Every structure is written in structure tokens, then in C-alpha cells.
Structure 1
């Protein structure tokens, strides 16, 4: 009898689908840029232009993707998303500097390689343990 009970319990565990949480958010870029950690982490000499925002003409130095994750365990989803977005912006800014650029244009959210384009919002996905933001944009060198 004990063997049957253990077998049924093992079967129940393996038969249950693993449903990991993946909540999609569209959050305000301006809220991230107003966070004090943004100024402390994102290079100040780089300008960022999202989606259809008018950007100055410049020399295109290439298109780049960043995919930043952060620990979301025990944090509010929006808080984890803010930190992941700051990290993604920091990476894009550092890449711009490394490539000799001073701006990143046409930035879109690019989670799982699916573009989400907005001048004012970014896409974040949050789970029980990890939150992530992916961005794609073109690094350019514009005249000051």
C-alpha cells in the first residue's frame, strides 16, 4: 500500500504543469529617468531617443541589443522592472561611448526579440525570481 501511495504522489507531481509567472508590464520611461539611481548609473553624456522621438542626424555606428535581468525575489514587480530598465539604459549608454557615439536612437523594447515601440513606455517582464528588460537601439555620433 505504501508503494502505491508513493507512486501516485510521484505521478501527481510530475503530471502537474510547471507554470512559471511571467507578468508583462508597460511602464513609464519618465518614471525610470526620475529615479535617483538613473543619474548615478546611466552615462550623462549620452542622449536617448525612444521609438519615434525626433533625434538629431548623425553618423550611425550600429544597432545593439541589451537584455538585462535583475533579482525580483521579495520585491514589488515595478521596483524590479525599474532597476532592470536602469541597467539596460546603462548598458546602452556604455556601448554608445565604447563605439564612439553620444546618442542612442530608435530605442524599442525587444523582449524575446519582439519589438514594442513607444515614445513613453517600455516593456518589462517579471516573474517570482527574475525581472527583465530588453532594448534595441542604434548608436550614433551627433554633433554637439
Structure 2
């Protein structure tokens, strides 16, 4: 009887230790937009008919077709964080560009990073968060139809 109680106690301890959540890595990066645009995968994936304007960059006036948010994640397992962040940013830009075209727009203006609904605004940098298995980029911007 004591032996079965001891075995049960050991098993319960092992199960509760395994159920304790590990501290997940969430490394924040501010990376250059220009480096992403220079990547050959950018031209192959992001719609060419859409122009992108970050933060307070001078943008053409036009009909505002709405504000949109994208939140793209990518597998970062076995990749350098910057590489995973580049791919997540390309995916986010692709989604914004496709949304602009679907709405009848040809530009996205006032783009800011919007990770966990917190604004990071820069004309030259974007925010990315990388963990052990996932990297993510969230963007928010206004789709416009410029003349």
C-alpha cells in the first residue's frame, strides 16, 4: 500500500512538473524595411502595382478605402531570427498589397508595426518578434486609391 502511494506521488509530481509552462522566448527586433525590399523574394511575392508608405512618409492623396491590419507568422525553427523576420515581413507586405488590390486601391499609407496592438512607427524600420519556433510581424495601414 505504501509503495503504491509513493509511486502515485512520484507520478503526480512528474505530471505537474511537465504541465508547468516554460518561459517562451519573445525577442523583439527593429529591422530595416530597405533590407526586406531588397530581398529577391519581395519582388516575387509582393504585388508590384501597389506602393507602400511607412509612418509619416509623404504619400499621394487619394480616396481612403479603409484601415487594415495584417498579422503574419512564420516558422522560425532552425532559422536565424532575422531571416524568419524577413520572411514574415514579406508575407505581411504581400497580404497588405493583395488587400489593397482587392479593395480597388493602389497604395497603402501610414503603415506602422502593430504587434499585439502596440504601435511602433518608423519610416525605415519595422518591428518583429521571434521565438523558438515562430516569428511574427503585424502591420496596420490605410488603403488608398491614388490618382
TM-score by length of 2: 0.91
Q: 1:47 aligns with which of 48, 51, 56?
A: 51
Structure 2: tracts of 5 or more residues without a match: none
Distance in 1 between residues matched to 2:128 and 2:83, nearest whole Å:
11
Partner of 2:85: 81
Over the aligned positions, Cα root-mean-square deviation in angstroms equals 1.3
Size of the aligned set, in residue pairs, is 142
Q: 1:36 aligns with which of 31, 35, 40?
A: 40
Structure 1: tracts of 5 or more residues without a match: none
Post-superposition CA distance 1:18-47 (Å, at most 9, x none): 211111111000000000000011011111
Alignment of structure 1 residues 16-27 onto 2, 5 Å: 16-27=20-31
Distance in 2 between residues matched to 1:84 and 1:63, nearest whole Å:
20
Partner of 1:10: 15
How far is 1:11 from its partner? 3.9
Alignment of structure 1 residues 1-144 onto 2, 5 Å: 3=7, 4-14=9-19, 16-143=20-147
Select the structure of larger CA radius of gyration: 2
Structure 1 residue matching 2:144: 3-state secondary structure: strand
